Amino acid sequence: MPPFSQALSSSPSSYSPQLDPVQLDPARSCPPRQQQVDGIYHHGDRVHDVRLVLPALCIWAVDIIGAYGGYRSVSGVLIGALICVVIFIRREHRNRLLLACVVAVLCSGISLLPRLIMSDQSTLTSLTSGKSAATAHTVTGRIASKPQHGLTGTYLTVRTAYGDMTVYAKGQQWDNLVLGQRITAVMKLDQRPENHFTQGEWRAIYLRESQPPHGIWAFSAYESRKWEEALTHADATGLTPSLHALARGMSIGDTSGLSPEYKDNYRASGLTHLTAVSGANVSYVLLLAGIFLRHSSPRRKSIVSALLLILFAALVGPEPAVLRATISGAVGVLALWKGGRSSAFPALGAGIMTLLILSPSFAVSPGFALSVVATAALIWGAPQLSHCLHALKVPAVISDTLAVTVVASVSTMPVSLYFFGTASTFGILANILVAPVVPFITAMGLVGVVVSVVCPLLGGLAVSYTHLRAHETRGNLV
């Protein structure tokens, strides 16, 4: 049965029973009313259900308003949403999609309002507007991002009860800090917050107390130590310091060892995402796993993919960037596996809502916007491009990888121009050239991370082989 006939048979009350069968032919032009039904769009022979994406975008908009307008602006939005709900209740014919958007705005505003009130009335925020901002203050919180240890000092994000704060610290006592530790430190405000979700930038004076991580953070810290031990073994086999840093960047997203020169080179060539935890890393791993599961049932694919995602988050560390990359990469691969059917966009909508509920500060994060745009583009265009490459006799793994690379690179260029004022046109070509080897290098790097937990020596051997290929790729492009 053609897709349009299925849509009509599922909701016959929305259409006239006297329609001529010829009008149901998808190859012919159809009235606009048949192309869009309650948030369901027909794109050729594929169906895109965006009914969950629109409420997610409404939640995103409310979080942006709260970030820059504070609790007073959100209060105004809540009043407007309540008025809309009353109007909907009094109407006989209701647009369910529009009602869902209004309810999403209402729920998001209600959950966000207490947090904004607490943030605006917190002790830290009051410091940013008074003369006491120049004095030192004691702050307690948990390290929410992997500390980046460099030659000039350590940069980290500390999550307090009132919001996240970016901290710059110098001294040996900060060199051994890891993700998930709870610390108490004396700090001084450097820069006032840009929005109501953060507490600004602070300079640490000295570390008063630090507690060891627990749970999944403790496992991630243990894995990081074993991985560094594996890299040390790899150094003995000829791994250069630059490759050592590259191995950490491509496997667990730790770029603290990369020199400023290398960072500038990767940025100029559009390959920065290779040394950071992004949805592309997750997509590559799941795509390679999909090769071995190509003939498996959807249930088995889902179970294996879920286990791989949990393992990835545990190994790299449960920081916000990892959660964003995990969900974005999973949704993008789901689009390829499902061939762009209607389940991919609802997954994207659910992912957006989950991330914004867990961390509303994602709403003003450039990385989050890049992930959402790239994932939506993958759902819309990657299956079609992959199908075209299949028709040209390109192997499945290469066609899928190229489709992900090309669509993601092209779609994120306007977003990069908006946030950063620049975009690498050469980056598209560079990403296409490295696309055939990067999935293998990334996946083998993660295999090395897993193996190093049991035997660091074997993990070091995997690094020596895998990142030799990465070095060759970098030498050709950077």
Cβ count within 10 A of residue 375: 30
- What confidence score (pLDDT) does residue 238 get? 66
Token pair, residue 12, equals 């016959």
Dist. CA 67–CA 60, nearest whole Å: 10
The one-letter amino acid at 435: A
- What confidence score (pLDDT) does residue 227 get? 79
Assign 143 to helix, strand or coil. strand
Dist. CA 250–CA 272, nearest whole Å: 10
DSSP string, 29-89: ---HHHHEETTEEEETTEEEE-TTHHHHHHHHHHHHHHHHHHHHHHHHHHHHHHHHHHHHH
How many helices (DSSP H) and strands (DSSP E) are in the chain?
17, 9
Most distant CA pair in the chain: distance in Å?
80
Are residues 397 and 336 in contact, defined by beta-carbon separation less than 8 angstroms? no
Assign 199 to helix, strand or coil. strand
Buried b (16+ CB within 10 A) or exposed e, 45-75: ebbbbbbbbbbbbbbbbbbebbbebbbebbb
Could you list the beta-strand ranges (E) of 180-334. 182-191, 198-211
Rg from Cα positions in the chain: 25
CA distances from 260 to 168, 242, 435, 443 (A): 18, 11, 24, 26
Dist. CA 37–CA 325, nearest whole Å: 31
Q: How is residue 2 annotated by DSSP?
A: -
- What confidence score (pLDDT) does residue 4 get? 32
- The candidate with the shortest Cα–Cα distance to 11, out of 28, 36, 30, is 36
Q: In what order do the strands lie in the sheet with 40-43?
A: 36-37, 40-43, 46-49
- What confidence score (pLDDT) does residue 110 get? 92
The one-letter amino acid at 388: C
Token pair, residue 254, equals 């730790």
The parts of the chain modelled with pLDDT lower than 50 are: 1-36, 131, 339-340, 474, 477-478
Question: Which residue, chain included where needed, has tokens 């980056």?
Answer: 427
